Amino acid sequence: MSDIKHKLNKQQKEAILLLQIGTFLEYFDLMLYVHMAVVLNELFFPKTDPKMAALLAAFAFCSTYVLRPFGALIFGYIGDNYGGKPTVIITTSIMALSCFLMANLPTYAEIGITAAIMVSILRIFQGMSSMGEKMGAMIYVTEITKPPIQYPAVNSIAIAGVFGTMTALAIATLTTRYGFNWRIAFWIGSGVALVGILARTKLRETPDFADAKRKMKKAIEVSESQGLAGPAALLKSINPIFKEKLNYKSFFHFLSMYCGWPLCFYLAYIYFVPTLKKSFGYSSEDVILHNFILSLINVALVCLWSILSKKIYPLFISKMLGFLFIITLIMLPFILNANSVYSIYIAQCLCLIGLPQAPSTPILIKHFPIFRRFTAVTFGYALSRAVMYILISFGLVYLTEWFGYYGIWVIGFPITFLWILAVFHYASLEKKSGSYPLKGEWQVKG
């Protein structure tokens, strides 16, 4: 195996570092509101009865994700036609502006329901921009690296994202426990986003995309020199790579696999907040500190998946996690019926182990055509978040009311089974391409 597959060269290291910085800053900005929602929802939304408050909180949470699919189509078009570099610069700029406006937004007490509408619109723009940024970064790293170093390299983007989340929770803890002004936190967020924009301007376009664009330009020049006209004649003259169509079966399984983590994230960070406050007397400050501790565990887990992917084939890791989460789902209601803070902590930690797509992300990405990749990946990612967070955040309010903690099974088991099927689908694609380890082996040789 050549050294280029085992080590990153200087240019690759610089590109990945710039992408990590941008992803860290992007997720810091995005998650700042998500994890301060227990405080900020009281400032921007009217106070009402507990059930309606839960539904309003679900609305505030979902507003981040509801229009992501439309943003994916827009930024996907830009990424597929103009490259990943301009896309991530644009999305980071949107995040910076949204964060700045949120820092200066009047509260419900000052302007009434207009505050709730405005904060929801800003959350929508933040969600749209974060979608193109993270997945754009992962596509970029996938295209500039080769297995086996590709796996930890792409996972390093996921690590940067969870570090951003952890830092947002740290700032939220300072804000709520030590009187740090929440507006200052968002001003900091808009400032660090500007740093991300400057970092991204130094990126070069990926070799795969640049090479494909050169081939397309050459094909068009040949077509024009031969006097060919019209799209049909042009398509006959160019390389088959430009005619390659999206495999919708693979897209469905990509979507299925990306539906796993929203379930785990919501259960770990959001679902138990009302219980902690109502049954155990947690204040908003206590909830944020509680979630900060969880974020430390999440960082450790994502780093573990990255380390393991250096030695163990990522789809093997994903299979193991899928079957492990079935056991977790079976145990959850029984753990939670113990009705203690410790039982909730155990449940949350098990959910964080959950269904992460991180170890296998580059394998999923590379099975999409180069000129369909950005749109397919970002749209699939965005659609999974929009559908799942709406389904989970609103659905679990009623499922828990009807079935108690057993209501988690109604959503959890179908999502987990689809997730496992997706892993096996991509394993079959890898076998066809010759990238899957031989029988009895567990490590990619590259």
Answer yes or no: is 220 within a domain.
Answer: no
Q: What is the pLDDT of residues 2-53, one digit of tens each?
A: 444 567 888 888 888 878 877 887 788 777 777 676 667 777 776 665 556 5
Residue 224 lies in a domain: no
Q: Domain range holding 169?
A: 3-205+244-433
What phi and psi values does residue 440 have, to the nearest 5 degrees? 90, -10
Confidence of residue 421 (pLDDT cuts 50, 70, 90): very high
Residue 229 falls within a domain, yes or no?
no
The domain that holds 129 is classified in CATH as: 1.20.1250.20
Residue pair 54/41 in contact (Cβ under 8 Å)? The answer is no
Residue 318 lies in a domain: yes
3-class SS of residue 312: coil
Which segment of 198-202, 424-428, 434-438 scores lowest on mean pLDDT? 198-202
The angle subtended at Cα 252 by Cα 132 and Cα 422, nearest 5°, is 105
Q: Is residue 289 part of a domain?
A: yes
Q: What is the pTM of this model?
A: 0.77
Residue 217 falls inside a structural domain: no
Position 73 pLDDT exceeds 70: yes
Provide the pLDDT confidence category of residue 236 given band limits of 50, 70 and 90: very low
442 is a domain residue: no
More confident residue, 278 or 426: 426
Q: Write the pLDDT tens digit of every residue in 392-408.
A: 878 887 888 888 889 99
Greater confidence (430 vs 5) lies with 430
Residue 206: strand, helix, or coil: coil
Rounded Cα gap, residues 328 and 297, in angstroms: 17
Q: Could you tell me the maximum CA-CA distance found in the chain, to the nearest angstrom?
A: 78
With a CB cutoff of 8 Å and minimum separation 6, the contacts of 214 are none
Task: State the alpha helices, DSSP H only, in 145-283.
Answer: 150-177, 182-200, 207-225, 231-237, 248-258, 260-269, 273-279
Return the higher-pLDDT residue of 183 and 344: 344
Integer Cα distance of 144 and 207 in angstroms: 7
Identify the weakest region by mean pLDDT among 100-114, 202-216, 304-318, 367-381.
202-216
* Number of domains observed in the structure of the chain: 1
